[in-house]
Structures are given as C-alpha cells and as structure tokens.
Chains A and B, each alone.
Chain A
Amino acid sequence: MTDQPSSTGGGARPGRFGSYGGRYVPEALVAALEQLDEARLKANIDPAFQGELERLHRTYTGRPSIITEVPKFAQHAGGARILLKREDLNHTGSHKLNNVLGQALLTKRMGKTRIIAETGAGQHGVASATAAALMGLECVVYMGTKDTQRQALNVARMRLLGAEVIPVSHGSATLKDAINEAMRDWVTNVDTTHYVIGTVTGPHPFPEMVRDFQRIIGVEARAQVLDLVGRLPDVVCACVGGGSNAMGIFHRFIDDESVRLIGLEAGGEGVDTDKHAARFSTGLPGVLHGAFTYVLQDEDGQTLESHSVSAGLDYPSVGPEHSFLRDTGRAEYRPITDTQAMDAFALLCKTEGIIPAIESAHALAGALEIGREIGPEGVILVNLSGRGDKDVDTAARWFGVLEDGLSPDGLHPDGLEQQ
C-alpha cells in the first residue's frame, strides 16, 4: 500500500462501495459529474496539481497538523494512551479546508467561476468562503436557519470573508435541507458553478474524491504515531456526520488489520428516542442526496429528521463508504449521546487546555469508552477534527457558565432548544 489515493472504491462498479454509493441524480447533473470525475482523475496523477495542493497545505492550511498526547485526559479512559490528531489547528479551525482547497483548485481547472456549498456547523461553509476569497471565486453558502442560529459566529465569519449566506427555512431547517437547496442552485447554474460538497456523500465521484482529499489526515497520523509510539495504534476513532474526517483518518489504516476503526455517531438524546442521528442504529439502506447508503427513514421512505447537540452531526444520512465498512465489519460504529459528548468536551477543556468542536467531542467520548474496554496497554488515535470556538455559546448554555444576568432567556434547563 502506498500513500497514493486509490482510484476505485472497492466495489465492482465505478462509484460503488460494495452495493453502496452510485449516482441518484437528475439527468441534468450527469454531464457535470462526468466532467468533475474526469478532472479529478487527471488531477490525481498530475504533478502540477498535486504540487500546488501540497504547497497550499504547507503554506496556508498549516500542514502537517501535529499529534498531541493527552495523558491527563487519558487517566479517565482507564489509562490507555490517547493521541489527538490536531485538525483543529488547521487554518479555519477544522479538517474541512483539506477538501475545499482541492475542490477549489478543480473548480478553476474546469473553468468555473462560482462555488456553492452547504454547511451545518459552519465549518465547511467557512472553509469554502476562505478558499473562494483566496482563489477569487464567487461563493454562496446554504445553511439551515436552525443552524444559522446555533452557529451565528460562523455566519458572521463567512460574510466577513465575502461569501453570501442563504438561510434555508423549509423542511427541518438543518443540513439536509441546505443540501437540497444547494442541489437546486447547482442544477440551475451548473455551467458556471461547482458544488463543493463538504463530506463523503452525494453522487459519484464526490464520496471518493472528498475521501481522497481528506486522506492526508491518516497518511500523516500513521507516520506520526509510528514515530512517537513505535507501533500502530490499536484503535482509530472519529466522529461521523457525513463522515469526511472519519474517512480521512481511517483510509490509510484500512489495510492494517490489527487497527480497529471506530466511528462515533450522534446518539442525541438516546437511540431509543426519536431524537438522534445514529444512522447505523436505526437507519436502513436507501437513497438520499444522490447516494445509496444508510438513511434515517420511515416505512414510506420519507427521510426522518435527525437531532444532535452538534450541528455538524445532525444529518439523517452518512457517506456510502461508511455503509460499506460497516456491513463488511471493517469499521464499527457506536452512538454517543449529547450528554456523553458534552462531558468529554468539558473534560478535554479542563484536563488539557484544548476546547474541541462538539462534533469532535463525540470522538473523544468514544475514546473514553473504548479506553476503559481495552485497558492501559492500548493506544488510541483520535481525530480532533475541529476546534470549539464556534461552540462556546452552546457550551456556555449547556453548562450554565455565564453570569445569571448574561444567560439567554427561555433556556431549556438541561438542553439547548433555542427556538
């Protein structure tokens, strides 16, 4: 196995991971998907493209990102060694820029002048707005109104960067509906516009392409862990919304059979309630947003609304390659409740002086759980996919750390409902 991305997904047909993936889209988009596929396959083997992306990562993103061992945090995980891959230290504060810079370069190669993006937590929207500013592209970001409220800081960041943010109020007013609206824009403006999907889902070639742009996380981390520990980790864990940070850190380890890959989904208020985003607990294979994959759906095939304290994991579907890894048993997936995630969030803040994104806190909570299972000899690599600045308001409400006079009115005593 080399450090080069593979061009196939492991399925018999192109764009398939086993039976998952595919291209369930209006015919009007097929030509653009073909053009994108051709452009990215050429770019994969073009030294000029790879050189430019590598230069941007070195001089702009801040790669390679470091790994940090967190021994005080790990004391709460039965003493296993816990290493954090610090994607939170990337420019814009998350792993999202890895993918966006790649797609922005492809946009220019395809001769397009405008990018659109969906965003949940705002991390992908901010990364897209950033890349657009850097490369002189017009940028429009679609974001559910529920998310524009709980991630207001990121809305301001995108607008400061020159992007137009369009709130989407229909449906569940979260990430899923932002994607619908972005798709509608794309089908109307596809001649000039590239849709920068922020995660490893959507129609082929998005799941494969985004994974390949995020794969650098695992490539770096594998070498860094070998260097620090002298052996491979026992477990790699990452939070899974759409699943791009998880695919990014998992992929380089797939052939390392001794390494367990564990994805942590948003368990919300519990998988026995209807307020969660644990697709692998109660979802079924189906089609959403262009891909055949696990989807939270009712018996008529209508998409169910998901719920999570973290906007970035609040999505009723998941990237198709995760569905494949799950069914084949190569990766495991577990739900983490809102409370578990927030407890892990607080613990990392206080023990190590690192404020994680609430999304990433799900991976940290997973590491605490897994550490207690595997014992003190274990080594766990956690993808700390983003920083928590954007979540300070949510966390302050959750923990009630603001002075009484500063507390927002109408706050649910143990929740985050802001409507």
Chain B
Amino acid sequence: MSGVGAVLAKAKSEGRAALVGYLPVGFPDVQGSIDAMVAMVQAGVDIVEVGVPYTDPLMDGPVIQHAADVALKGGARLKDVFAAVRAVADAGAPALVMTYWNPVLRYGVDQFADDLAQAGGAGLITPDLIPDEGVEWIAAAERNDLDRVFLVAPSSTPERLRSTTLACRGFVYAASTMGVTGARTTVGDAAEVLVTRTRLMTDTPICVGLGVSTGAQAGQVAAFADGVIVGSALVRCLTDAASREDGLAAIRKLSAELAAGVRAGR
C-alpha cells in the first residue's frame, strides 16, 4: 500500500476522514512555502498537496492564481518542488505533487517520476491530465511505485467514473462542484451525490475538494468522504498575513480547526 493509502486507511480505522492540505511552492517565497507546509503537517494535516506554480492555471480561482503569479515572479523553479516534497516527507506526511501537465512534460515524464520518487514524494495529482492522455505517466508511476490521483466531476458519466477510478492509485479526487478552486459558503449536495456515484465504481478512497474552507464544512464532507481537501482557504492565510509569523500562525490555526472538523464529522 502507498504512503497515501496507509494514511487514509489509518484515518478510516480511527473512524474519521483524512485532511488533505494544498499550498503552492514559492508563495510567499520558496522557504516561506516550505515552512507553511511543515506547519500544516504539525497542526494536523495528514497529506500535503505540493502545488507547482504555473503560468496558465485554468482550473484555479483568483486566490491560487495570485499565489502562483507571486511565486513565479519571485523566481520559484520546478527544482524547488522537490525540496518542498523532501521537507514534507521529513515532517512525516505523504507529499502529492499537484501540477498542470506541461511542466512535467517539459521536464520529461520519466525523469520527473524518478526525481519525485528520489525526493520521497508519494505521487501526482493532475488536474488537466485525464487518464486517456496519461499512458506515459501511468507507466512511469508504476515503475516508481508512485500514486496517481485523477479527478472525477459531477459531469462525469458512469463510464468515465469507471475508467478514471480504475486508473487512480492513492485516492480519487472528487471535484465537488463544477467550477474552479476557491472557498464557497456551501459545499452543496453535488459532492455527496458524486461520492455516492463514484463508490459504485471503486474501492479506492475518495477525497473531496473544491470549496471547503471551515472546520464545520470539513465536518459535513467528512460524513461521506474518505478525505477532505482544502486549498484556497489555506493559501488565503498566507495572502492575508501581515508578517511571515502571522501567516504561519494562521496556517496552524486553520489546520487545527479543519483537523477537528474531520474528526467531528461522524
């Protein structure tokens, strides 16, 4: 079983959902992002999504777009991602790299998989790579014993739910609403419907993302999902912070609130 799989299984045995937190590398700067990822783990995040900043993040809302923009203007490079992965792994949590496809393609799919495994990474989440186009990546992941997390959406047909979940290892990423990343006031019924539909197709754990920002919402989602994914709300902690210390404190506070939420949901 993969590192991600083991963490999800452990959470399940504790009668709770896992908490998955996203932060992009290089925001507010490379070291600042690594410190924030480690702080997140210390405060109760079970799995870290290490985000690769990209020039054309077409699945992301304004908060993550802004962070990626700052990271790239600040000189964040792809090699910094491996440093972040190493730091997260050393802090004791599995690190899944979340990346648009072109940076991996340019790096070389095999080389990226090798270097990710070397850095202690758990695998990849690929928001703009569907399994249909992912043959090369799936083979490279197989070879390096890496997880591959693909997305399912409310618009996915039963056939696509089946084929996509078959290609997943680690967990299935259920995008709860139609839209881009960003906090929402309600998570909505669509997420639960999607999880129910997806469970008919697979035994792989299902984590729900897009829109969760509070402990209460995390609790609602934890009632039906194996993991709760939080991104923009965590990034926001850093965006809104007056200082580096304030940012880390806000990250710790929100992570703890969300960690309590995923434990209160059942």
Contacts and interface: CB of A to CB of B under 8 A. Distances in A.
Interface of A: 22-32, 34, 170-171, 176-177, 179-180, 183-184, 187-191, 284, 286-290, 295, 297, 299-303
Interface of B: 54-59, 61, 65, 69, 72, 77-78, 101-107, 127-130, 132-133, 150-157, 160, 164, 175, 178-180
* 4 tightest A-B CB contacts, nearest first: A301-B106, A28-B153, A301-B103, A188-B179
Given A176-B56, A184-B58, A27 B130 contact: yes
Given A176-B56, A190-B178, A287-B128, A28 B106 contact: no
Contacts of A22: 133
B157 A26 contact: no
Given A297-B102, A300-B77, A180 B58 contact: yes
Nearest to A290: B128
Nearest to B79: A300
Given A27-B153, A27-B175, A300 B128 contact: no
Nearest to A180: B58
Contact of B102 (A184, A189, A295): A295
20 contacts: A23-B132, A24-B133, A25-B130, A26-B175, A27-B150, A27-B153, A27-B175, A28-B154, A28-B155, A30-B130, A32-B155, A34-B157, A170-B65, A187-B180, A284-B106, A287-B101, A287-B128, A290-B128, A302-B55, A303-B55
Given A28-B178, A188-B178, A171 B164 contact: no
A157 B73 CA distance: 35
A67 to B, nearest CB: 39
Nearest to B77: A300
A30 B59 contact: no
A27 B160 contact: yes
A363 B187 CA distance: 51
A27 B105 contact: no
A28 B103 CA distance: 21
A25 B160 CA distance: 14
A4 to B, nearest CB: 28
Contact of A190 (B56, B58, B155): B155
A300 B151 contact: no
B58 A183 contact: yes
B232 to A, nearest CB: 14
Given A23-B132, A27-B155, A286-B106, 4 more contacts: A23-B130, A27-B164, A28-B178, A297-B102
A9 B151 CA distance: 28
Contact of A26 (B56, B59, B61): B59
A227 B146 CA distance: 62
A288 to B, nearest CB: 7
Most chain-B Cβ atoms within 10 A of its Cβ — which of A184, A284, A299? Answer: A184
A156 B69 CA distance: 30
B210 to A, nearest CB: 10
B56 A289 contact: yes
Contacts of A29: 155
A276 to B, nearest CB: 18
B129 to A, nearest CB: 6
A30 B78 contact: no
A31 B106 contact: no
B6 to A, nearest CB: 26
Contact of A301 (B104, B133, B179): B104
B178 A30 contact: no
A301 B55 CA distance: 9
A26 B105 contact: no
A36 to B, nearest CB: 13
Contact of A187 (B56, B107, B150, B178): B178
Nearest to B164: A27
B56 A288 contact: yes
B155 A31 contact: yes
Contacts of B78: 300-301
